[in-house]
Amino acid sequence: MKCLRYILVLVLLGFLVSCYEVNEEIVINEDGSGTYLTKMDMGQLLEMMQSFAGEEELSKEGLDKGIDTVIRLKDMLDSAKDMTAEQKALMANGTMKMQMDIKRKLFKMDLNFPYSGYDNLQKLMAGQGNSGAGLADVFKRFFGGDKNPATDTSLIIDEAKEPDMQDIANIYDVTVKNGLISKKINNEKFKALTARPEMAQIKQLSTSGMEILYTTTIKLPRPVKKADNPLITLSADKKTATMRYNLLELLETPDKFSYTLEY
Q: In this structure, are residues 80 and 141 in contact, taking their beta carbons and an 8 Å threshold?
A: yes
For the segment 66-90, the average pLDDT, to the nearest whole number, is 80
Q: Report the length, in residues, of the chain.
A: 263
Query: Residue 79: what pLDDT?
Result: 67
This model's pTM is above 0.85: no
Q: Which residue has the higher pLDDT, 54 or 120?
A: 120
Question: What tens digit of pLDDT does each residue of 197-219 get?
Answer: 877 766 666 566 667 788 999 99
Alpha helices in the chain (DSSP H): 2-17, 45-53, 55-60, 74-77, 85-91, 118-125, 132-143, 153-159, 165-169, 187-194, 199-207
Query: Residue 137: what pLDDT?
Result: 55
Query: Residue 148: what pLDDT?
Result: 45
Would you kindly state where each structural domain of the chain is located, as residue ranges?
A: 2-262
Beginning with the edge strand found earlier in the chain, give each strand of the sheet holding 233-234 in spatial order: 67-72, 95-101, 106-115, 34-41, 21-28, 213-219, 240-246, 233-234
Query: Residue 250: what pLDDT?
Result: 80
Instruction: State how beta strands 95-101 and 67-72 pair.
Output: antiparallel
Which region holds residue 150: left if phi is over 0, alpha if psi is between -120 and 50, else beta?
alpha
Query: Residue 108: what pLDDT?
Result: 87
Question: What tens digit of pLDDT does each residue of 155-202 get?
Answer: 444 444 455 556 676 789 999 999 999 999 999 999 988 888 877 766
Query: Residue 129: what pLDDT?
Result: 62
Amino acid at 197: P
End-to-end CA gap in the chain: 47
The band of 231, judged by pLDDT with boundaries at 50, 70 and 90, is very high
Highest mean pLDDT among 78-82, 169-173, 222-226: 222-226
Cα 104 to chain centroid distance, Å, stands at 23
Q: Which residue has the higher pLDDT, 125 or 57?
A: 125
